[in-house]
Structure 1
Amino acid sequence: MSSGILFEFDNHIARVTLDRPKALNSIDPEMDAALFEAWTEINSNPDIWVAVLGAAGEKAFCAGANVSGGTEGDGRRTALGGGLTGVGGPMLTLRKPLIAAVQGYAIGGGFELAMCADIIVAADTAQFGIPETKVGIIGEAGIMHRAIRQLPHHIAMALILTGDRIDAQQAERYGLVNEIVPYEKLTETASSWAERIASASPLAVQAAKDAVLSRAGWPLDVALATRYEPIEAYAYSADRIEGRAAFAEKRAAQWSGR
């Protein structure tokens, strides 16, 4: 991986860490390229079943972007966050579940990156904000479109129009985060969530994520009538056979991810 992030995985869990604490983990083009590599590895490696995105240092998860839509050496444009946000370049879809472990400032592009996760665990120090209007900068509006979909309408509009921040307790109240813990327990708690997800059938989890998110903006009748290829493919997988056998034999399933 390129510099700017740390990447490792074991026991089917990948850990991606933003590693520019002196710059409040703000994302520059080099980090975007490294994150793109990380998400690509997570998507393509069948031994990775779930990912955790964290950040170094206590002060900030991510304070946004130095340059949105960076360009890599081969000329390929990468959307902010290694492609996850779809801002500034093509959007990359992460097929595996993603947990964000957020501490301190998560503002601007950092807030948007956290919202790309499926689960958000927040330290009690976390603050979420959309500062664009307050500082007089309006570019691509991805963060606003996400906020209006993930927060109550009037809460999102207040954040967008004032540039003010909300703390972890408010974020939990509005349904933005799944759990608040002391900063000292943030990594442990995010890992616990990852382990719980990894204990389920990885192919079933991925198929469920694909089905839910691919039709999230569609009417219910369309979502119900859609045929989902990952779900259909799962019917012929070794994990489906193992799941049925484990249930019949009253034992824990030994998933292979195949």
Structure 2
Amino acid sequence: MADVEYSVTGNIAHVRLNRPQGLNAITPEMDDLLFEAWTAINEDPNIWCAILSAEGEKGFCIGADVSGGAERKSRMALAGGLTGIGGPMVTLKKPLVAAVQGFCVGGGFELAMCADIIVAADTAQFGLPETKVGIIGECGVVHRAVRQLPYRIGMAMILTGDRIKADVAERYGLVNEVVAFADLADTAQKWAEKVTAASPLANQAAKEAANARLGHPLEVALMSRFESIEQYASTADKREGEVAGAERRKPVWTGR
């Protein structure tokens, strides 16, 4: 079995970390496999949403595996570049749902925060242990934490290394839903199915526009033109939405 499993069912891609004996710490080989998965998802028009999950109840991911000490020719771009640590950032065009359980710390925490929707098991714990053990570097996780959590909550996690549990993460809006571990996979699948019920091209255009102006003042965002939104206006899915509305039926999307 590969340490990163990749499969596609219908219009949903499944990316699964499969190294539970190491709490799914990401090795260089896993990093390459993740890069391949994100690239495949971006390039396949029939994939409308992706689910990122991990094997084992104890840990979603504890970041990069630093136990082996093996060097590689190129620096790790943790999670295949999706986070941008150590290498060029890969922007995932399709919506991403993360299903998180157990320890979700360090680079694993950042990997989860790259998702658009996070479903957490009630066993999940989120944390940034770096400073607590005397480590800090190109730590993109701190930048995401202070943007996705209230500033003082994020800073407290950064400066103390303390973890927060799933219910606290939900309270602060970091996760969308908390469920029992036994229900985690089904809940993530339901979220993905909700996403794929919407127009895939409209979703992709909306995600690109939202993220492109996330760090800008509202006035700048409102005055911006977005090529992906303009291109969507001439698609078959845009016309299908109009026809389905007129015929009072559910639209049948093609992603074209």
What TM-score do the two structures reach when normalised by structure 2? 0.96
Q: What is the RMSD computed on CA atoms of the aligned residues?
A: 1.8
Which runs of structure 2 are paired with 1:111-122 in the superposition (5 Å)?
Answer: 111-122=109-120
Residue aligning to 2:15: 16
Q: Which amino acid in 1 is paired with 2:219? A: D
Q: Which amino acid in 2 is paired with 1:65? A: A
Q: Choose the corresponding residue for 2:170, options 169, 172, 181.
A: 172
Note the alpha carbon deviations across 1:113-136, whole angstroms, 9 max, x for none: 000000000000000000001111
Q: CA–CA distance in 2 between the matches of 1:94 and 1:77?
A: 20
TM superposition outliers: structure 1 runs of 4+ over 6 Å? none
CA contact (8 A) 1:53 1:98 kept: yes
Q: Which amino acid in 2 is paired with 1:123? A: A
Note the alpha carbon deviations across 1:143-191, whole angstroms, 9 max, x for none: 1111000000110111000001000010001110000000000000000
Gaps of 5+ in 2: none
CA contact (8 A) 1:108 1:130 kept: yes
Q: CA–CA distance in 2 between the matches of 1:252 and 1:93?
A: 31
Which runs of structure 2 are paired with 1:203-214 in the superposition (5 Å)?
Answer: 203-214=201-212
Q: CA–CA distance in 2 between the matches of 1:16 and 1:136?
A: 32
Q: CA–CA distance in 2 between the matches of 1:111 and 1:84?
A: 13
Q: Choose the corresponding residue for 1:192, options 184, 190, 200.
A: 190
Pairwise CA distance, 1:222: 1.1
CA contact (8 A) 1:21 1:60 kept: yes
Q: CA–CA distance in 1 between the matches of 2:139 and 2:5?
A: 28
Q: CA–CA distance in 2 between the matches of 1:4 and 1:115?
A: 21
SS of alignment partner, residue 79 of structure 2:
coil
Q: CA–CA distance in 1 between the matches of 2:245 and 2:9?
A: 26
Q: Which amino acid in 2 is paired with 1:61? A: F
Q: CA–CA distance in 2 between the matches of 1:8 and 1:141?
A: 30
Tell me: CA distance 1:78–1:249, structure 2 relative to 1, closer, same or farther (3 Å).
farther
CA contact (8 A) 1:202 1:257 kept: yes
Note the alpha carbon deviations across 1:213-253, whole angstroms, 9 max, x for none: 01000111111111101100001100001000000000110
Identity of aligned residues (%): 63
Gaps of 5+ in 1: none
Q: Which amino acid in 2 is paired with 1:186? A: L
Note the alpha carbon deviations across 1:28-70, whole angstroms, 9 max, x for none: 1100000000000000000000000000011100011115xxx
